[in-house]
Amino acid sequence: MQSYFSLPTAAAGFFVSAWLLMIFAGIVSTDVGIKPYGYSTSMVLTIGLWLVIAPAAGAIAGAGGRGKPGR
């Protein structure tokens, strides 16, 4: 039953992540020197971040069991 709810949970996480990215980019825009951007640009950036971070997180999580060859 857990796998049934994993896709809607990931979708909700995506939209919340994009919204938070838009909010925080607007807050720090003057300090960093970027222009504030809208929600659609934030969604594109979130997809890019997820495509970069997800394989790295999977590799790190999968490497935990391979550290000791004797077991």
pLDDT confidence of residue 13: 92
> pTM for this one?
0.71
Show me where the domains of the chain are located.
2-58
Nearest-angstrom CA–CA distance, 66 and 69: 7
* pLDDT at res. 40: 95
Which tens digit of pLDDT belongs to each residue from 14-62? 999 999 999 999 999 999 999 999 999 999 999 999 899 988 888 888 8
| 53 alpha-carbon distance from chain centroid | 7
The confidence score (pLDDT) of residue 68 equals 58
Evaluate if residue 64 carries a pLDDT over 90. Answer: no
